Amino acid sequence: MAGIHLHDIELAINWWRERAPSPDGVTAAPPVRALGEVYALMVYDRRQEVAEDALPEPAREAWLAWYASTPDAPCIAICSTAQGDAVCKGCGRTEDEVQDWPVYSPAEKRQVWRRITLDGTAWRFNRYAERARDAGQPAA
């Protein structure tokens, strides 16, 4: 079973904090508390990942709600694996990851997202990110 990284738990907590802010500055919403308990135990035990199937149901539901708000696939419609590359120049996934993506669990997909984001060499993270950023700026 795939593991969910500590950073994803943190992202989910902050996503929920924006959607369900504390009414009194002290009390956290149930999804925040559920994810916060998992996060605290991970930090205490110095674990970077928790197994997807080891999450208590309220934390799993909260994490999946956050996950549903994230982009599913890193594809930018430039698939060089179709041209024989072992790793896609567009998104950074391996040929097997591209082919198996539809059957990956949410945690497996997030593991791939984490790897390609940390690597940051795929075009989605440089050439096209720069173009998208520059497109919103007026011409000089």
State residue 2's pLDDT score: 84
Is 79 in the same domain as 107?
yes
Least confident segment among 55-59, 80-84, 108-112, 114-118: 80-84
Please say if the pLDDT value at position 125 is more than 90.
no
Is 11 in the same domain as 42?
yes
Instruction: Report residue 66's pLDDT band, with 50, 70 and 90 as the boundaries.
Output: very high
Is 5 in the same domain as 52?
yes
Q: Are strands 49-51 and 3-5 parallel, antiparallel or unpaired?
A: antiparallel
Please say if the pLDDT value at position 136 is more than 80.
no
Which residue pairs, CB below 8 angstroms and at least 24 apart, start in 24-31?
A: 30/58, 30/62, 31/58, 31/61, 31/62, 31/65
Residue 76 structural domain = 71-140
Q: How many independent structural domains does the chain possess?
A: 2
- Among 70, 88, 107, the domain-final residue is 70
d(CA 133, CA 127): 10
What is the average per-residue pLDDT within 15-29? 94
CB-based contact 52:106 (threshold 8 Å): yes
Beta bridge pairs of residue 94: 87
Of 70, 69, 109, the C-alpha closest to 93 is 109
Instruction: Report residue 131's pLDDT band, with 50, 70 and 90 as the boundaries.
Output: low
